[in-house]
Structure 1
Amino acid sequence: MDSELLKTFLEVSRTRHFGRAAEALYLTQSAVSFRIRQLENQLGVNLFTRHRNNIRLTSAGERLLPYAESLMSTWMMAKKEVSHTHQHNELSIGASASLWEVYLTPWLQTLYENRDSLCLEARIAQRHSMVKQLHERQLDLLITTEAPKMDELTSQEIGHITLNLFRSRHSEKRDKYDYIKLEWGADFHQHESVMEGADVVSILTTTSALLTRQLLQTTGACAFLPAHWGEKYGDLLVIPETPAVVRSLYAVWLQSSDQQSHIHQLIKYPVEIY
């Protein structure tokens, strides 16, 4: 379907006059008539009744009108979005909520402070979902603590994060604490299985580090949180005799991505790791 045919149909239906529609579209009247005939031939129905200066929509034309308006509106939005992407080097970045909350928000601030005409989309989702989006070219860059072992994906280590097992300073001291499971990667269970001072069965599973910290006092539980939060938040205490966990942080993208030059420019800026 030629969008210009629909545009002409809408203008004739608005003015109810081929001459005025031609003036509005900067066309000749014969060109407007030809476009309407083309559209009618494609649909196999008459869209207007023509009696000299009295032009009216047929029942078929009345039914087409809302669809034509919707299609043209969608087309204009699509053109605007495509143009916007071209002008601003739009790039989509995905990570877990905890990584955004702790490490990647300051990184985004650095990017916008140092680069002009930058337009990014920040997505929060689980890792397996974002790996699928990479393959389907719905996501350009994934920041994760696990590099997928797939030939079609490229990964680059961009730093390390350190986690400690914390409890609330205001909760009762115990030999064993309930546990809040925070998403730090699918293979993080190897660290949970050997930790001391907590029951491995979790009372809550979440992807939000901020939510976890706020619930430690309420639940009397413990959780792995960024090591530097012990200094940032006075209500956190490291559970004794639990070793710190160090995790690598990776940038992952599709080898055949058409955004590779932009990706390399972004990952030149370090993610601040505490």
Structure 2
Amino acid sequence: MDTELLKTFLEVSRTRHFGRAAEALYLTQSAVSFRIRQLENQLGVNLFTRHRNNIRLTTAGERLLPYAENLMSIWLAAKKEVSHTSQHNQITIGASASLWECLLSEWLTSLYQQHSGFQFEARIAQRQSLVKQLHERQLDLLVTTEAPKMDEFSSQLLGHFDLALFAASQQQKKEDLTYVRLEWGPDFQQHEAGLISNDDIPILTTSSAKIVSKMLKSLNGYAFLPVEWAKGQDEIYQMEETKLLSRPLYAIWLQNSDKQGTIKELLKTQLIAQ
């Protein structure tokens, strides 16, 4: 379907006059008539009744009208989006909610400060979903705590951050509290098992560090939180008996990504303080 035919059909239906439609479209009247005939031939129906200056939509034309309006609206939106992408360096970055909240938000601010010509999309989802999006080229860059397990991915170790147990009171002990699980990936559960009691069934499981920090007091709970981030939160305290647990942070992208050079340039912006 030639969108110019739909555009011409919409203009004639609006003006109900071939001459005025031609003026609005900067065409000759014969060109407008030819386009309408082309569209009618494609559809196999008459779209207008023509009686001198009295031009009306046929029943078929009335039915086509809302579809033509929707199609043109979608086409214009698509043109705008594609044009916008071609004019800017657009990068989609995916990570879990907890990584965005605790580590990546400040990094994204730095990216904007150092790369003013870029346009970013920050996408929040579970790792499994983000890996799928990376495969399907819906995502340019994945930031995660787990190393890539597939050959088609390139990766860069960005650094490490520390997790520790935090509670709403500095003096409380684990046996007096309920466990709140903040998801840090499947491989983290192996480390988690050795640091909490086997009887500690999570009273709450979430991927949001902000939810955990706000719920610790009301749930009389304790949870693993990033040390540097947690120190900046109100009314939560690192438990004295806890050991620091170091976690890696990786940037992952497709080896054959056409944005590989851009991604490597962005990764020069330090994410974790050394």
Give TM-score, length-normalised by structure 2: 0.95
Please tell me whether the aligned partners of residues 98 and 208 of structure 2 are also in contact (alpha carbons under 8 angstroms).
Answer: yes
Aligned-partner residue type, residue 52 of structure 1: R
Quote the RMSD (CA, aligned, Å): 1.7
Please tell me whether the aligned partners of residues 46 and 58 of structure 2 are also in contact (alpha carbons under 8 angstroms).
Answer: yes
Partner residue of 2:140? Answer: 140
Measured in 1, the distance between the counterparts of 2:230 and 2:18 equals 74
Measured in 1, the distance between the counterparts of 2:65 and 2:233 equals 60
Measured in 2, the distance between the counterparts of 1:201 and 1:6 equals 61
Measured in 1, the distance between the counterparts of 2:66 and 2:74 equals 12
Distance verdict in 2 for CA 1:63–1:102, change over 3 Å: same
Aligned residue pairs, count: 274
List alignment gaps of at least 5 residues for structure 2. none
Deviations 1:41-79 (A, max 9, x none): 110000001111111100000000010001001100110
Q: In the alignment, is residue 12 of structure 1 matched against residue 12 of structure 2?
A: yes
Aligned-partner residue type, residue 12 of structure 1: V
Distance verdict in 2 for CA 1:226–1:174, change over 3 Å: closer
- Identity over aligned pairs, percent: 62
Alignment of 1:70-219 (within 5 A): 70-169=70-169, 173=173, 175-196=175-196, 199-219=199-219
Give TM-score, length-normalised by structure 1: 0.95
Partner residue of 2:30? Answer: 30
Please tell me whether the aligned partners of residues 178 and 199 of structure 1 are also in contact (alpha carbons under 8 angstroms).
Answer: no
- Deviation, 1:235, is 2.5
- Deviation, 1:174, is 5.4
Secondary structure, aligned partner of 1:68? helix
- Deviation, 1:34, is 0.7
Distance verdict in 2 for CA 1:266–1:199, change over 3 Å: farther
Partner residue of 1:2? Answer: 2
Partner residue of 1:59? Answer: 59
Partner residue of 1:39? Answer: 39
Deviations 1:2-34 (A, max 9, x none): 000000000111111111111111111111111
Partner residue of 2:248? Answer: 248
